[in-house]
Amino acid sequence: MIAYGATAVHNGTLQKFNGSLKEQVWEDNRHSKTHIDNFLMFSPALAVYGLNALGIHGQHNFKDRTMIYLLANVFAQGTVFSVKGWTHELRPDGSDRMSFPSGHTAEAFASAEFMRLEYKDVSPWYGVAGYALATATGALRMYNNAHWFSDVVAGAGVGIASTRLAYWLYPKMQHWFGKKETDERGPVTMLTPTYQNGAVGLSYIKVF
């Protein structure tokens, strides 16, 4: 998915496909924009916490799943804003050159994969629901004329990869920081890499 999006940035055939979809979604059917996508992208992750509150427990306790989700967001948003700065892809509406990849879609699919991995041993339908919400977010980004199709596809790939990387890396980070597993008796502390507005740094996080 990431490779497809990256190829489309300079591939004439894929750019024509982007333009064709824009004509069908926006130019041939002018409509008012919606802001639902600004909230929908977080809904799978919020659902994870809601389900746990209702007693439907996933793979990790509150501390661990929170640290994993934060780590996934660091990877996803760090990648998104780094690549946006390199590519300078013009948005379909011409508002700026921060089109590729879609940050909303990356967040939505990072959240969906988070929901899927937390509940994959409970029922696969939780993952299906999460991915349905994430797909709706990506579709709304094109509906709002804010992103090309390739931006959305690449954003989805970034989000999924970021969450999978967080699930793989988190146990190793626990080991590096001298705590092999967490429980409900004390706070969890972690240093994670951050990237924002061109600045790279470290973030200190403590979850009680």
Calpha distance 110→113 (Å, rounded): 5
Q: What is the mean pLDDT of residues 63-69?
A: 96
Mean pLDDT of 110-130: 98
pLDDT in tens, 149-200: 999 999 999 999 999 999 999 999 888 876 544 444 455 555 555 555 555 4
Instruction: Report the chain's mean pLDDT, rounded to a whole number.
Output: 89
Tens of pLDDT along 10-38?
899 999 999 999 999 998 888 999 999 99
> CB burial class (10 A; 0-12, 13-18, 19+) of residue 15?
middle
b (16+ CB within 10 A) / e for 179-192: eeebeeeeebebeb
Q: Give the mean pLDDT of 73-90.
A: 95
Model-level pTM? 0.85
